Amino acid sequence: MTDLTLPVVRTIDQMYNDIKTVDPNSAISLNYLKSIIRKYNIPSATSGNKKMFDETKVFSYIKQELSTEKCNTCENIKNKIRKQV
């Protein structure tokens, strides 16, 4: 018998509630979650009116987004500093 692991499937609202439950002071907004889903074309499953996404994929994209933004910000700051004479 094969070991079947199911993805953590949530709606956007459920993901947002999960984040706020774990970290009530989180800066992640509902609009940010929606933009991540649009930006990375995260696949969804539809049941009636409900669109469901794999929560682990969304969170891994957020982690990736934050790590690349940090590096880009550091480079941008380095390039904008001018030499004092």
- What's the pLDDT tens digit per position in 16-72? 999 999 999 999 999 999 999 998 899 999 999 999 999 999 999 988 888 865 555
pLDDT at 83 over 70: no
12 pLDDT exceeds 90? yes
pTM of the predicted model as reported, rounded to 2 decimal places:
0.69
Q: 22: helix, coil or strand?
A: helix
The answer to whether residue 81 scores a pLDDT higher than 70 is no
| Tokens found for residue 16 | 């947002």
* Amino acid at the residue 26: S
Give, for 62, the enclosing helix (H) or strand (E).
helix 55-80
Strands (E) in 1-85, as ranges, are 9-10, 44-47, 50-54
Distance CA 79, CA 39 (A): 27
Predicted confidence at residue 65, as pLDDT, reads 83
